Amino acid sequence: MPDEPLSDEYLREIGRVAVEWTRVESTVETIIWAFLFVDFDDTSPWLREEDGRAITTHINLLLRVDVMLSLASTSLKGLPTWLEDFEAAAKAIRDTYPKRNKVVHGEWTPLRGQALRSVYRARGDVKPFYDFLTPSDISAIAMECQALSVRLARLSQRLAPLLLELRTEWWQRDRE
């Protein structure tokens, strides 16, 4: 391995991917908690934030996405537009996930002014994979992650008042 460090431009763009993807993951968690009526103020008998974290912290993202879709399906019956929004968001997450992994899980080595990314896969045989990504390639992935995190945040913000309304309806129906 060369002794030279990876350039600041590469480090900045790899970091942007990691930060934006963390926002994607945490927003999916927040959406799950919203469906479970996690109480962030600990003022009701519902689940506390600590309980929500206990449920979702060690679940990988793709399983969280499945949980999110299942909760959307059971909570938003009769609201096809909402279900379509969640299905589209889940598809976008699944489409972006491998791109994020390509950046975050690669081993980066400076080589002739570029950065060589290497990954090893061990499914049966151990196979190395090598490629070069430019800072602009990584930046494009970071922007895709950022757009996805904004999209999910907006979906989450729209969801909160709807779930409050639905919860009120469910309580009233249960009392009858």
Q: Are 154 and 95 in contact (CB under 8 A)?
A: no
Most confident of 17-21, 41-45, 123-127, 130-134: 17-21
Is 0.75 surpassed by the pTM of this model? yes
pLDDT at 130 over 60: yes
pLDDT at 45: 59
User: Which residue in this structure is represented by tokens 């945490």?
Assistant: 26
pLDDT > 80? residue 173: no
pLDDT mean across residues, the chain: 89
CB 35 within 8 A of CB 72: yes
Only one residue has tokens 């980066």, namely 108
CA atoms within 13 A on the CB side of 44: 8
Whether the predicted pLDDT of 174 surpasses 80: no
Domain definitions of the chain by residue range:
8-106+133-175
Rounded to an integer, what distance in angstroms lies between the CA atom of residue 110 and that of residue 117? Answer: 9
